[in-house]
Amino acid sequence: MDRKGLIIIISGPSGVGKTTITHGLLSSISGIRQCITYTTRSRRPDEEDGVDYHFVDDEAFSGLIKSGQLAEWAVINGYRYGTPKSGIERITSSGNDVVLVIDVKGAASIKSLYPAALSIFIKPPSLDALKERLEERGEKDRVDMRLNRVKTEMEQAHAYDYVLVNDTPDRVISSLKGIIEKARGEKGDS
């Protein structure tokens, strides 16, 4: 198979449900893989190293930057996150589509490196719903900091190919499947 996979960017504010949506997408559509990103933040109890993220310390992350191994990286809520170029290449060269769950700055960086990347912005149904989700995560000390970023992030939604409101994850996943299937068809026609 000579088909090179699509690069699919999913962005949105912290707590909007990107992880839930991505997991649902991965389990409901074939030929799509998530690129595991690096982060300097601590692992949450429900996360697994190498599955959800590659958890590294600041020194290791700095090494990844210096050696040019990251396609993009950013500081988000005091922690660094970065996408490995090798992960993107490995997945797309095998004919699979790659999904990148990244912030708005990272999305802009990826689009500059890979202009054909498909970008989707996930919006919350309301700011109150988003605040409630963040508080449910048990990160009350970081809720205000995260909410302060929301306005800036939402202002970037216009730069994306698609904007979806996460009123229910099942509906968003269904919409994403349709978007990806359409993009696969268009890529196959070229």
Instruction: Note the pLDDT tens digit of each residue in 134-185.
Output: 767 665 666 676 777 787 888 899 999 999 999 999 999 999 999 999 999 8
Count CA atoms closer than 13 A to 9's CA, side-chain side.
Answer: 31
CA angle 127, 23, 19 (to 5 degrees): 30
**7-189 has which fold?**
Rossmann fold (3.40.50)
Q: Report residue 76's pLDDT band, with 50, 70 and 90 as the boundaries.
A: confident
Q: What is the pTM of this model?
A: 0.85
Q: Is residue 40 within 8 Å of residue 64, measured between CB atoms? A: no
Instruction: Tell me the HSE value of 104 on the side-chain side, using a 13 A CA sphere.
Output: 19
* Cα–Cα dist 86/125, whole Å: 35
- Supply the pLDDT for residue 129: 77
What's the distance, Cα to Cα, between the start and end of the chain in Å? 16
Rounded Cα distance between 44 and 47, Å, is: 5
* pLDDT value at residue 122: 95
The C-alpha atoms of residue 42 and residue 44 are separated, in whole angstroms, by 6
pLDDT class of 96 with cuts at 50, 70, 90 = very high
* Total count of residues recorded for the chain: 190
Look at residue 125 in the predicted model and tell me its pLDDT: 84
CB 112 within 8 Å of CB 2: no
Q: Which residue type, as a one-letter code, is found at position 6?
A: L
Domain locations in the chain? 7-189
Side chain identity at 52, as an amino acid letter? D
pLDDT tens digits, 17-57: 898 999 999 999 999 999 999 999 999 898 999 988 999 99
Question: What is the rounded CA–CA span in Å between residue 170 and residue 21?
Answer: 8
- Residue, of 15 and 83, whose pLDDT is higher: 83
